[in-house]
Structure 1
Amino acid sequence: MSGGDAGQTNEGEGTGNGHVAYAEFYPPIAAWALETDDSFTLARTGCLEPLVQYESDGSLGEKLATTWEQVEPTAWEFQLREGVQFQDGTPMDAEAVAGALTHLLERKTPARSFNSDVVAGVEAVDETAIRIRTKQPDVLLPYRMATPNTGILAPKAYEGKQLDVKGTCTGPFEIVEEIPQQSLSLERNEDYWGGTPALATAEVRYIVDGAVRATQLQTGEVDIAPVLPVVSMAELEGNDDVEVSTVEMPRTTAMMLNNSRPPFDDPLVRQAIQKAIDTEAISGSIYEGVMTPATGPFSPELPWAPEGAAPVSRDLDEARRLLDEAGVDPSTLSIELLAYNSRPEFGDLATVIQDQLGELGVEVKVKSGEYASFEPDVLAGDYDAFLLSRGYLIDLGDPAGYLAADYTCKGSYNLAHYCDAETDASINQALQEEDQDARFQTYAELAERLQSEAVNVFLVHESAVVGTTARVENFEQHPLNFYALTSELTVS
C-alpha cells in the first residue's frame, strides 16, 4: 500500500473496497507519545480516539464517552460507551481508560491540556464509568477530554519502553505497517463500534513540503492533501480532477518575540517592531489575500475577540520614536529570525520581515530548518524571534487552554517567555468561570493586552487550503485538524 499507485482507482471501489492516500504534513517525532503533537497525527489517521468529540461547529459530542457530569466542584464523571473493544480484542472498560489517562498524567513532559497541574487523578467508578478529579474547579474539563492528547489506547500499548500503537487503538482504521518517517499502511477495523468503515484500506504519507503535497495531489499519488501553499491554488483550481477549498481556521501566524531577554524584554522595543511590520502587505503578497491581517491573537469575528479590534497600521516614524524613547539605536539591533520549513511560505515571509525591519535600520538574520530542531532552544528561551503558526483552540477547544499554555508564567508552551502576575490571575479565573459571557470578556481583555504590549507580532489569521481528488467523498476539513480518515470517508 506504499506504492506509487495509491491514487489510482481500485477494483471494487463504491462497494466498500476503496483505498485513499492521505498526505500528512506533520510526521511523528516522539515515537507516538500522546503527550506530544504525535497524538494529533495519530488521530488524523483514524486510529486514536478520545472520550469526547470536538464538532465542526465548536460543540462537544459523544465519542468513547456518552455522557459527562460535574458531580462535585472538583470532580467529573464520564460514562463510557458500552461494547467498545480495542483493536486487539480487549474490552475498553473503565480500568483500561483510567490506566491510559493516568499514564498520560505521569509523563515527564506533560500534555499541555491534561497534566498534573490541573488534574489530581483518574479512577474507575465501576466497569463503565470513570471519575476525574481536578486540583481546582475546572468547568472546561470536557474540552480537555476532546483533545487527541487524551486519546485512549489498550493496556498493551504501554507495556514497552515506547508506545505500541499497532492494534491498540479503538478507531475505524488499524495500523498494519509503519515505515518510520515515510508512511503508514492502514486497514479497516471490521469490529469498529461506529459501524463498518466505508474504506477497506488507506495510506498515510508523511510529506512535509507543501509544494510536494500539491504536486502529488495533481498527479493522483495522494487523494487528500491539507495545508497546501496558497501559491498552489491557481494551478490546482485549473485541474478538473482536483477539488480545492479554503476553510477559516482558529489559528494565527505570529512572529514570536523572546520577552525574557534583550532587546524584547523592553515593551517599547517590541512595540516599535510591531509598528514596523506591514501586515496588510504580508496578507496581500505572501498569502494572496487568502489570509487576513491579524488584529491580535484571535480573529475579530469571534465572540471572545476585543470589540472593534483592527490590525496595527505600519508607521515607521512611530517605530523610530518608540525606539528613541527606549534609548535604542536601531542600527545596533541585530535579530536572528527562525523560520521552520514545514510551512513553505515562511521562507518568503521571513524575507519580507527582513526587508521591512531593514527599512527601520534593524538587521534581521534568517535561519531556516526543521521545527523539531528549533523547539528545544525556543522553549529554553535561547532565541530572538520565531515564526509560528499556532492554533488557539487546539489544546482545549476553548481559548483558555491556549492562553494558559502560551501566556502564563509557568505555561507549558510559553515560547514568548512572557510572565505577568495579573495575566496569570485572569487566566486562572477564566478556567473556573461558569458564565460563558464573563469568560469571553476575560479572553477579550487578555487579547487586547497581548496586542497592545506587543508580546508577539501577530501577522495573519489563517485559512486552510485543502485539496482532494474528485473521487473522494465525505471528507470534511475539521477546523482544529483533529480528524481526517473517518469511517464515513469513501471514494466514488
Structure 2
Amino acid sequence: MRLPARLVSLTAVTAASALLTGCFASTGTDGDAGEGKRIRVAHMQPPRSGLSPLSDDAFKLSRWSTAETLVKLDADGNAVPALATEWEQSGRSWTFTLRDDVTFHDGTELTAQAVVNSLTKAAAASPKPRILDGVELTAKADGDNRVTVTTAAEDPLVPQRLSSPQLSILAAKAYQGKTVNPVGAGTGPFELTKVNGTTSATLDRYDAYWGGKAKAPGIDVKFVPDGTARAAALRSGEADIVEAIPVSQAALLDEELITEVPMPRTNTLYLNTDNGVFKDASLRAAVREAIDAESIVKGVYESRADVAEGLLGPALPWAADLRSDVQRAKAGKADGQTVTIGTFTDRAELPEVAAALQQQLQKAGFKVKLDVREYANIESDALAGEFDAFILSRATVLDSGDPAAYLYSDFASDGSFNISQLADPTVDKALKKAGETNVGDARRKAIVEAEAAVLGTDAAIPMLHERVIQGDAAGVVDAAHDPRERELVTVDTYVK
C-alpha cells in the first residue's frame, strides 16, 4: 500500500536531513540573472578521481555544464555540433572545424592546439577512457581552428566517441600536475570554482560563455551516497534537484516532484570466468537458471523496472527485433559450492538485489556470502577479479550512444571494465566485427550478434533494465531528464 509523504517517520526524515544541514550555500537572488536562485543539487556518487575527466567523474562535469566536448549526441544518438561546428572523414582521419570565439574559464582561447592537448592526454592515459578501448587515436592541429583525428584502423564511430565526457576539452592549466584538475578549466556556461573533496563542489555562472549567459547564477553540489538522505533533501526543501531517488522512497514523495526516465541501463550479474567456482561454465549456467528476475523487479523495484531479455534493453528497441535464440551450456549442480557476491550501496536497490540473489542461489544449492560497500571502495577489487560474482548497474550506451563500446569495454579480452575476466576468442571476434561495421542496420545486426556471443558464455547474466527516478523541486524550471546521464543542469535551467 502506498503511504502519503506526511506519514513518513519524523525521526527518519530528521536524521536523513541532518546529513545535508549546512551543505548548500545561500540561495539568494542574483541581480543579473532575472530568474534568481543558485541551484542546489544532491548527487548520488562522490568523485572517484578528484573530478578528473579521464575517469567516470567526467559525467559530473558534463551534468553540471562545465566541461564540453567537440560534439554532442541528439536524442537518436547522432553526432551534432558542440565545440566543433562541422567535420569530414577521409579514410582513417576525421577533420573537425572548431567554433569561433570560445574561451576557457581561465580566459584563454579555444585553439586547435588546446584540443590536441586534451585528446592526446586522454589517449595516453592509463587506464584509457572506456570510449577508447581498442582504439589507437592521435590528434594533430591543422591551422588554428581545425583538428585532424586519426585512428589506427578506419573507425565509423569517431564523432560519437568524441562526444564522450571523458574526452572533454580543457584549458592547458588543467594538465600541469600528475592529475587532471578541471577547476576553472572548462568552456561551459558554469565554471567549477571549488571542490571540497568528496563532500561538495561549487560552480558559478561563466558570463562569457559562447552559447549565451546561463539563467541560474550558479550551482551548489552536495554528494549524498545515502538514498534516503537524498529523498529527504527533496522533501524538506534542502535540495532543488536530486539524482537517483531510490524506488523505496519514490512512493513517499509527491508524484509531481519526481520523473521516471527510462534508462539504457542494465542490472547485470557478472560472473568471474577466470578463477574460482564460475570458471566452470555449467555452474554459470546453474546461476542463470536459478535467477528469478521477475520477482526482483516486483519485490525490489516495485515494478519500476523491466525484466531483461538481453544486455540491451527497451531504450534500444531495435535490439529486441534483431535478437534470436542463444546457445548456452547446460546447468550443472552447485553441490554446496561457496561463492562471494559483491555490490555497492550507492544505488540503494543493489544491496536488496544482492539479498534476493543470495536466497535464490542458496535455494539452488550454492552457499553465498555478500560483500557490500560504497562503490569507490569496491570498484578496484571488482576489476581485479576478487569476487566470484558482482552485481552492477551498467549504462549500455553511456559513452558513445552506441552499445558496441560498452560491450567491448566489459567483455573483450583487453576491455578496461572486464569484471567477468572474460577472454573468449569467439566473443572477441564478434566484438571486433561490431566495432568495425559502418553505422546503420548492418552495425545493429553485428552488435546483437556480439551480445549473443557474450550471453552464450553466461559471463554476464542480465536481470533487469532500470528506470532512474529524478527529483525536481516545485520551483525548478527546465532541468534535463537525460537517459544517458550526460545532462542535468543546462544553460536554461533555473529555480524560481
TM-score, L = length of structure 2: 0.91
Per-residue CA shift, 1:59-79, capped at 9, x if unaligned?
A: 2221111111112x2101111
> Corresponding residue for 1:315?
none
Q: CA deviation at 1:56?
A: 3.1
Cα 1:80–1:301 change in 2 (3 A) is: closer
Q: Which moved more, 1:176-185 or 1:250-259?
A: 176-185
> Corresponding residue for 1:147?
164
User: Unaligned stretches of 5+ in structure 1?
Assistant: 313-317
Residues 271 and 459 in structure 2, CA contact (< 8 A), matched pair in contact too? yes
- Distance in 2 of aligned mates of 1:80 and 1:27: 33
Q: One-letter code of the match for 2:476?
A: V
Cα 1:7–1:460 change in 2 (3 A) is: farther
Equivalent of 1:380 in 376, 384, 400: 384
> Corresponding residue for 1:108?
126
Residues 431-446 of structure 1: pairs in structure 2 closer than 5 A: 431-434=435-438, 436-446=440-450
> Corresponding residue for 2:14?
none
Residues 102 and 187 in structure 2, CA contact (< 8 A), matched pair in contact too? yes
Q: One-letter code of the match for 1:339?
A: T
Residues 201 and 221 in structure 2, CA contact (< 8 A), matched pair in contact too? yes
Equivalent of 1:344 in 341, 348, 351: 348
Equivalent of 1:75 in 82, 93, 98: 93
- Distance in 1 of aligned mates of 2:315 and 2:488: 26
2:182 is aligned with 1:178: no
- Distance in 2 of aligned mates of 1:25 and 1:7: 21
Residues 257-272 of structure 1: pairs in structure 2 closer than 5 A: 257-272=271-286
> Corresponding residue for 2:11?
none
Between the two proteins, the alignment pairs up a number of residues equal to 476
Q: One-letter code of the match for 1:67?
A: E
> Corresponding residue for 1:53?
72
Per-residue CA shift, 1:32-69, capped at 9, x if unaligned?
A: 22221111112112211111112233222211111111
Residues 8 and 221 in structure 1, CA contact (< 8 A), matched pair in contact too? no
- Distance in 2 of aligned mates of 1:103 and 1:49: 16
Q: One-letter code of the match for 2:376?
A: A
Q: Which moved more, 1:156-165 or 1:300-309?
A: 300-309
Residues 296-315 of structure 1: pairs in structure 2 closer than 5 A: 296-300=310-314, 302-307=316-321
> Corresponding residue for 2:266?
252
2:482 is aligned with 1:478: yes
2:208 is aligned with 1:204: no
Cα 1:333–1:396 change in 2 (3 A) is: same
Residues 119 and 132 in structure 1, CA contact (< 8 A), matched pair in contact too? no
- Distance in 2 of aligned mates of 1:60 and 1:308: 24
> Corresponding residue for 1:275?
289
> Corresponding residue for 2:62?
43
Q: CA deviation at 1:237?
A: 2.4
- Distance in 2 of aligned mates of 1:68 and 1:6: 42
- Distance in 2 of aligned mates of 1:456 and 1:161: 35
Residues 136 and 152 in structure 2, CA contact (< 8 A), matched pair in contact too? yes
User: Unaligned stretches of 5+ in structure 2?
Assistant: 1-19
Per-residue CA shift, 1:320-377, capped at 9, x if unaligned?
A: x821xxxx4x233111111211011111111111111111121111111121222222
2:468 is aligned with 1:464: yes
TM-score, L = length of structure 1: 0.92
> Corresponding residue for 1:163?
180
- Distance in 2 of aligned mates of 1:200 and 1:371: 32
Q: One-letter code of the match for 1:416?
A: S
Residues 7 and 20 in structure 1, CA contact (< 8 A), matched pair in contact too? no
- Distance in 1 of aligned mates of 2:263 and 2:200: 26
Q: One-letter code of the match for 1:19?
A: R
Percent identity over paired residues: 33
- Distance in 2 of aligned mates of 1:262 and 1:2: 46
- Distance in 2 of aligned mates of 1:62 and 1:27: 30
Residues 389-408 of structure 1: pairs in structure 2 closer than 5 A: 389-408=393-412
